[in-house]
A and B are shown apart, each in its own frame.
Chain A
Amino acid sequence: MEWYWTLALLLGSILFLMFIGLPVGLAFILVNTVAAVVLFGRFGDLDINMLEGIHQLTDNAFANITIFAIVPIPMFLLMGEMFFHTGLANKMFNAVEQLMGRVPARLSYVTVAGGTVFATLSGSSMGSTALLGTLMIPEMSERGYKKKMSIGPILGTGGLAMLIPPSALAVLLGTLAELDIGRLLIAGIIPGLILASFYIVLIFVQATLDKDAAPAYDVVQVPLAKRLALVMTDVVPMISVIVMVILLIMFGIATPSESAAYGSLGVILLSIIYLFIVPLLRGDVAAAKAFWPQFGRALWRSMWGAGRVTVIAIFILFGSSLFSNVLAASQASVSLIEWVTSFDVSGYALLVIMFGVLLLLGMFMDQFAMMLLTVPIFFPIVQGIDFGMPMNMQMIWFAVIMLLAMEISFTTPPFGLLLFVMQGVAPPGTRFSEICMAALPFMMCAMLLVALIVIFPSIALWLPFLGGG
């Protein structure tokens, strides 16, 4: 069989099985099993062919899964869950809202900030879209906000969450593509800040052009001294944990894989200081006493939450990493890469094609599945193209673009998984076209950022390669 038929058959069956609703990991396992029996079963008898085929997959799975490189997945999840369950994230969220005072459209800004934090912590823009859609849209509607001012920012936060560290998905991408995870995380910072400022400008413009979009309402003004105190007590410590994680990586005390374990420890210590020692010093013994049972619950829920997502991720990883071995053994991936790179088209044309493929997949796949399917094909292709920068930089650069592309694909009208999810949770009577129109300007911001990163790679690469390559 020609390699392109093999490839079409393998990819086609995976996509078909996913589309009809087979669990993603299992779709991979089923296709791998058939392929492995064909590839490695050369013994005539079906039973022995099955045994040897599955034995090969078991051996490969053992080698793929029992590796230290998986560590960032559970550890970054654990850190995020701990922020969330100890209540420290919520504290920061509330503080930011109070700090904003009477800024017009302030709930839209708060949604962007809160949504980014939440999506970062849960590692899932879909979960966070659904949650924010349920919580924020009704409240904002009550205050007279138009739908574009609530739905748009919620749909926009996913992209930010992917970029601003710690980003569980960036870590996963780095793991899969065998990139320097520390550098990839740091590479997201400046693009993330740029995107955030795009959003701020966008909300500001929308609120200015359409005065009724986000009507002002009275809030209690917080005096400046109290605001500063809020920053010191509720914002700085939280951010300092994230900064500490990045510094641990930069100064080599811990590898990127290991750093999140310290992040978790940092959150544990912070919550003990905040919710036990400080009340105790203030003489609030009752609050201090109430802390330990709460703390125990928070720890358990964090482990449970991180454990759950870890199982989900490793189950898919189990299937998809085997799939990349099977693709290689069938010669399909090598032939594809040779074929693609044999063309005399510019690397940028290939970049556009890969971007298009991601947009297409984003219609019905989540980021995990998308990454797992495309990383073994895309990264070798990019490795074969010369964009005029050192290869390790080029890989990080492409990874940042890919992260953004995946998020954009989620929210591209008329098809995009997040749009459907939003319709599921938005108040009754919300039209699909309204959701699309609200999403569009935010998507344009993300697209603009992608264009900027393609034209000026240093936006992504300057910070991570500050100390040289």
Chain B
Amino acid sequence: MLSLVDRIWEKFLWCLMALASLYVGLIMVAIIYMTTSRAMGWSYNPMTFTFIEYGFLYIMFLGSPWLIRTRSHVYIEMLTAAVPDKVRILLSRLICLTGAAVCLIWAWYTFRIFLEQWDDPMAFDELRAQFDLRLWVSTAIFPIGFLLMSIEFLRFVFTAEPMHTGLAGVASDRAELEETKRTLIAEQSTSSKAGGQ
């Protein structure tokens, strides 16, 4: 039962990360639209800028929980690679507990900031003052993202295999390597004419 919930939850986080990836693609389209219009002397929707700029905040908070789960954030395994397994596991759980606590604190306070801005009719994005952008539009994603991240850190406090694997290096690069290998294998098996290398 618990594992089923965990699997559904994982799918949900994957979907959020997929949204973040899609957003990156949309940023490319938005830039081409904007630059082409400018070069041609056409006018373009000035909100394109804001769509791109706000995107970075949303992309980060949407993708981060999934990356915690898949050990893809940048963290250094040097101490955890040097100490005995028992110490590593204990240390890793403590680190994840710290992470969960920090994220939960942020989730709570940014939620209160969000409510404050929601109630204040004059709290606007002053930098992009030409548009009617309420401040809570950008703040809303903070408590959501931090809460999800907190849950993911907390999960690693209890999983059989802790977040720190004990392999020396930087975690995200290991994760990327694994993913690249998987992709290469998948591509080799799908490609019918496996010439070249």
The chain B residues found within 8 Å of chain A, CB to CB, are 17-18, 20-25, 27-28, 31-32, 34-35, 39, 49, 52-54, 56-57, 59-60, 62-64, 67-68, 72-80, 91-92, 95, 98-99, 102-103, 105-106, 109-110, 112-113, 127, 138-139, 142, 164, 167-174, 176-177, 179-181, 183, 187, 190, 192, 196-197
Chain B residue contacts of A87, Cβ below 8 A: 187
- Asked whether, in the complex, the Cβ of B102 is within 8 Å of the Cβ of A311, the reply is no
In contact, B63 and A307 (Cβ under 8 angstroms): yes
17 A-B pairs, CB-CB below 8 angstroms? A24-B75, A54-B110, A55-B109, A66-B54, A126-B169, A126-B173, A131-B180, A134-B181, A262-B32, A265-B32, A303-B25, A304-B21, A306-B21, A307-B23, A308-B67, A312-B172, A424-B168
The answer to whether B106 touches A54 (Cβ under 8 A) is: yes
Instruction: Evaluate whether A20 and B91 lie within 8 angstroms (CB atoms) in the complex, with A26-B102, A66-B56 already known.
Output: yes
Selected from B21, B142, B181, the residue in CB contact (under 8 A) with A303 is B21
Interface of A is mostly: helix
A51 and B109: CB pair below 8 A? yes
Is A420 within 8 A of B59, CB to CB? no
**For window 47-103 of chain A, which residues contact chain B by CB distance below 8 Å?**
50-51, 54-55, 58, 61-63, 65-68, 70-71, 74-75, 78, 85, 87, 90, 94
**Chain B CB within 8 A of A120 CB:** no
B79 and A68 contacting across the interface, CB-CB below 8 Å: no
Complex CA–CA separation, A461 to B173 (angstroms): 32
Q: Are B74 and A25 in contact (CB under 8 A)?
A: yes
Contact at A307–B173, with CB atoms within 8 Å? no
A261 touches B28 (CB 8 A): yes
Q: Are B24 and A78 in contact (CB under 8 A)?
A: yes
B140 CB to closest chain A CB (Å) equals 12
Given the known A-B contacts A33-B102, A51-B113, A78-B28, are A23 and B180 also in contact in the complex, defined by CB atoms under 8 Å? no
- Distance in angstroms from A460 CB to nearest chain B CB is 28
Q: What's the minimum C-beta distance from B101 to chain A, rounded to whole angstroms?
A: 9
Q: Does A18 contact B (CB under 8 A)?
A: yes
Q: How far is the CA of A259 from the CA of B109 in the complex (A)?
A: 39
Contact A65 B57 (CB under 8 A): yes
- A residues near B (Cβ < 8 Å) are 18-26, 29-30, 33, 50-51, 54-55, 58, 61-63, 65-68, 70-71, 74-75, 78, 85, 87, 90, 94, 122, 124, 126-127, 130-131, 134, 253-254, 258, 261-262, 264-265, 290, 294, 299-301, 303-312, 314-316, 318, 364-366, 368-369, 417, 420-421, 424
The reply to whether A50 and B109 contact each other, CB–CB distance below 8 Å, is yes
How many angstroms from the CA of A262 to the CA of B29 in the assembled complex?
9
- Contact across chains for B99 and A22 when beta carbons are under 8 A apart: yes
> How far apart sit A75 and B23, CA to CA, in the bound complex (Å)?
11
Which of A71, A304, A305, A314 contacts B27 (CB under 8 A)? A71
CB distance from A230 to the nearest CB of B (A): 12
From A74, A94, A134, residue with most partner B Cβ within 10 Å = A74
Known contacts A21-B78, A33-B102, A365-B76; 19 further A-B pairs (Cβ under 8 A): A18-B76, A21-B75, A23-B74, A24-B75, A25-B73, A30-B102, A66-B56, A75-B31, A78-B25, A94-B196, A254-B35, A261-B32, A261-B35, A303-B24, A304-B18, A305-B179, A307-B23, A314-B56, A364-B78
Question: A83 to nearest B CB, angstroms?
Answer: 14
CA distance A311 to B109 in the complex (A): 23
Are A315 and B64 in contact, with the CB atoms below 8 A?
A: yes
CB distance from A259 to the nearest CB of B (A): 9
Chain B residues whose C-beta falls within 8 Å of the C-beta of A26 in the assembled complex: 73, 99, 102-103
Contacting pair A66 B78 (CB below 8 A): no
Query: Which A residues are in CB contact (< 8 Å) with B173?
Result: 124, 126-127, 130, 366, 421
B residues in contact with A303, CB < 8 Å: 21-22, 24-25
Chain A residues in 8 Å Cβ range of B22: 303, 307
A-chain residues with CB within 8 Å of residue B21 when the two chains form the complex: 300, 303-304, 306-308
Chain B residue nearest in CB terms to A366: B170
Question: Could you tell me if A310 and B74 are in contact, using CB atoms closer than 8 angstroms?
Answer: no
CB nearest neighbor in A for B99: A26
Report the minimal beta-carbon distance from A180 to chain B, rounded to whole angstroms: 18
Q: Give every chain A residue within 8 A of B109 (Cβ-Cβ).
A: 50-51, 54-55
Rounded to whole angstroms, the CA-CA distance of A245 and B109 in the bound complex is 44
Q: Are B183 and A301 in contact (CB-based, < 8 A)?
A: yes
Given contact pairs A26-B99, A421-B168, A122 touches B57 in the complex (Cβ within 8 A): no
Report the nearest A residue to B27, measured CB to CB: A74
Task: Give the complex CA separation of A51 and B110 in angstroms.
Answer: 8
Determine if A314 and B79 form an interchain contact, defined as CB atoms under 8 angstroms apart: no
Contact B24 A310 (CB under 8 A): yes
B148 CB to closest chain A CB (Å) equals 13
**Assembled-state Cα–Cα distance A94/B193 (Å):** 15
- Known pairs A66-B53, A130-B177, A254-B35; A20 contacts B110 (CB<8 A): no
Given A253-B39, A365-B76, A261 and B31 contact (CB-CB distance below 8 Å): yes
CA of A364 to CA of B78, assembled, Å: 7
Chain B's closest residue to A139 (CB) is B197
> Is the beta-carbon distance between A258 and B73 smaller than 8 angstroms?
no
Contact A68 B74 (CB under 8 A): no
A65, A122, A417, A424: the one contacting B60 at CB < 8 Å is A65
Q: Tell me how far the C-beta of B67 lies from the nearest C-beta in chain A, rounded to whole angstroms.
A: 6
In the complex, A134 Cα to B178 Cα: how many Å? Answer: 11
Chain A contacts of B23 at CB under 8 A?
307
Partner of B79, one of A19, A61, A261: A19
A29–B99 alpha-carbon span in the complex (Å): 10
Query: In the complex, A26 Cα to B98 Cα: how many Å?
Result: 10
Contacts of B196 in A (CB 8 A): 90, 94
Q: Which of B103, B113, B173 has its CB near the most chain A CB atoms (within 10 A)?
A: B173
